[in-house]
Structure 1
Amino acid sequence: MPLQTLRTPLATALLSALALVASAQASAQGAGAWPSKPIRIVVPFQAGSATDLLSRQVGAGLSNSLGQPVLVENKPGAAAMIGSDTAARAPGDGYTLLMSGPASMVTNRFLYKKLSYNPDAFEKVAIVAVTPNVLLANPSLPFSTLAEMVAYAKANPGKLTYASFGAGTTSHMAGEFLRQAAGIDIVHVPYKGAAEAIPALISGQVSLYFDTIMTALPQVKAGKLRALGVSTASRAAMAPDIPTIAEQGYPGFDIAPWYGIVASHGTPPAVVSRLNTEINKLLNTPEFRERLVATGAEARGGSVADFEAFVKTEVPRTEKLVRQAAIALQ
């Protein structure tokens, strides 16, 4: 058989094998050398927001452990979609991370007809923290506990209203979750932000509102608002005396803003694993945990698999809430 006849299939096979080996070696070397330059955390919200402040704390901690600057890049707008799209389009080399949350990873896919990015394409790294919310009520209303509120709502369908800082936000989803879980008729009133919702609640324009523990407590302690329950599965470290909604007869009630680091699609597993390890080390330091509690947040952590399982649970639950509430923004 002529040499040229043999050369084509044999050479092709050999070249393909060599290319695969070279690619694997390059990938391993790249992951081993990582990080060799600054890393950026894309924050899909404005500077000074809770997500921004947490990202800067995480970035500072990772800078120390990784030996490279970890910089925050704010890309706010369009319900976290601008920042999420920025991170999604970046190379999967471990140098672009996203501080994700309910909007970017879960809720947006059900609120908007089309997203410019695929939430499921991100490489999950680690859940960083959660910010417990508190169900607040105007103190002039004739109830002081969650059970009394539910009884009042059932006796007066459609009379109670609940505020949110925007349609589709966590405060809206929490109110909808409560409405469905308790089987009560309460009316949603969206505001442009928490800065509008809290004064409306204090003045009696609305009846109820889920707010972050950090901003809620001063109003509760001053007697301007009444706390009915915490939205997370366990009591908040900042306010351990406030019972959870779950323990008051609604097991499984667990909804609050959460924050998780994800990486661009294709980031090497070795890099993802290293990031997960370093983030968990940071979250387990007493000083960092105390700083989080002081801002109303609580450290989470866990494995990559934990994060993936969490999102898989949140997606169908959120879809049910959105569909039953008939929420659509675009």
Structure 2
Amino acid sequence: MIAASGAVPPASAQVAKEWPSQPVRIIVPFQAGGATDLISRYLGTGLGQIFQQPFVVENRPGAAAMIGSDLAARAPSDGYTLLMSGPASMVTNRFLYKKLSYDPDAFEKVAVVADTPNILLASPALPFRTLPEMIAYAKANPGKLTYASFGTGTTSHIAGEMLKAEAGIDIVHVPYKGAAEALPALLSGQVSLYFDTIMTGLPYVKAGKLRALGVTRRERSPMAPDVPTIAEQGYPGFDIAPWYGIVAPKGTPAAVVGKLNAAVNRLLKEPGFRDKLASTGAEPRGGSVADFRAMIDAEVPRTEKLVKQSGVSLQ
């Protein structure tokens, strides 16, 4: 009996061998058309080719990524539901909300796919062309300028609050469900400023429809080498950017997580996939499951400090 039982593969190994035998959904907690959505679709196409099953993107935007995150957290832990997570869903929300509908730690970390800088955009109709000029205008007109974000608790929101705190200015936050709403609001003049992902905002800068005041990373972006960072314009500690990582509901078999991690890392080495990421302004990351866990463990205390520094009120 012992010999016979030893010949039977472990349950998780058997699950991994059979997985995926049906379509897999990737929940994206933001609207279609933004960087998170595009990266998820590129990833889904690549994973579909590797595993010969459809990986279908399902957009569930709203509530600072909480609607989609909650849906993913409640899904069966069978490997057929994944979440394209980011700083809001995994880290920031726990410091902004007294009670969450999901547990940010109740996910199996799979792999970090990429990260990308945000860019501070302004309407050309406003009487400033640079970040220092905007700061001076905001100080002379407290509460007059507004800034859009792609959701409360997202990096675009925290970036705005950080700038308010570091520059000592009063600009009013206007949250949207994603870039598909926030960018038109800026273009139409409903808001003054917007911390957008560089991929969606830069084409409007090049077309002369918007002005770029600064990049939120410590280093300049290869996509916009002429746009200075906010850090180099007098705020040396300013360094914040969204990242994109695949997670699965808690309890998803380790063998399935391992297969997914290997597939993501394989894609990140392929020139065609890297070119697609570059078109969004994203830089490939990758690494092991343990690397992903360590990254989040390091971000939690850092983000808690940033949220306190920004002065964002808990809700």
Which bin holds the TM-score, normalised by the shorter protein? 0.7 to 0.9
Alignment of 1:82-93 (within 5 A): 82-93=67-78
Q: Deviations over 1:87-135 (max 9, x none)?
A: 2123333222111122221222223332222111211111112232112
Q: Deviations over 1:115-161 (max 9, x none)?
A: 222111211111112232112344566654445555x2696483673
Alignment of 1:286-297 (within 5 A): 286-297=271-282
Tell me: CA distance 1:189–1:89, structure 2 relative to 1, closer, same or farther (3 Å).
closer
Q: Which residue of 1 aligns with 2:314?
A: 328
| Other structure's SS at 1:119 match | coil
Select the residue among 42, 57, 63 that pairs with 2:27: 42
**Distance in structure 2 (CA, Å) of the matches to 1:284 and 1:217:** 26
Q: CA RMSD in A?
A: 3.3
| Residue ranges of structure 1 left out of the alignment (5+ in a row) | 1-16
Select the residue among 169, 190, 195 that pairs with 1:185: 169
Counterpart code for 2:120:
L
What TM-score, normalized to structure 1?
Answer: 0.78
| Residue ranges of structure 2 left out of the alignment (5+ in a row) | none
Q: Deviations over 1:216-268 (max 9, x none)?
A: 22332344433222112333232222232234454443223322100111223
Q: Bigger CA drift: 260-269 or 22-31?
A: 22-31
Task: State whether structure 2 residue 216 is matched by structure 1 residue 216.
Answer: no
Tell me: CA distance 1:314–1:72, structure 2 relative to 1, closer, same or farther (3 Å).
same
Whether the 8 Å CA contact 2:63–2:152 is kept in 1: the answer is: no
| Other structure's SS at 1:243 match | coil
Task: State whether structure 2 residue 84 is matched by structure 1 residue 117.
Answer: no
- Percent of aligned pairs with the same amino acid: 65
State which structure, 1 or 2, has the greater radius of gyration over its C-alpha atoms.
Answer: 1
**Distance in structure 2 (CA, Å) of the matches to 1:225 and 1:48:** 19
Task: State whether structure 2 residue 222 is matched by structure 1 residue 234.
Answer: no
Q: Deviations over 1:263-287 (max 9, x none)?
A: 1112233322221121011122111
Q: Which residue of 2 aligns with 1:66?
A: 51
**Distance in structure 2 (CA, Å) of the matches to 1:175 and 1:299:** 25
Tell me: CA distance 1:160–1:301, structure 2 relative to 1, closer, same or farther (3 Å).
farther
Whether the 8 Å CA contact 2:148–2:186 is kept in 1: the answer is: no
Whether the 8 Å CA contact 1:43–1:51 is kept in 2: the answer is: yes
Tell me: CA distance 1:168–1:188, structure 2 relative to 1, closer, same or farther (3 Å).
farther
| Other structure's SS at 1:172 match | helix
Select the residue among 102, 118, 142 that pairs with 1:158: 142
Counterpart code for 2:148:
S
Whether the 8 Å CA contact 2:90–2:104 is kept in 1: the answer is: yes
What TM-score, normalized to structure 2?
Answer: 0.82
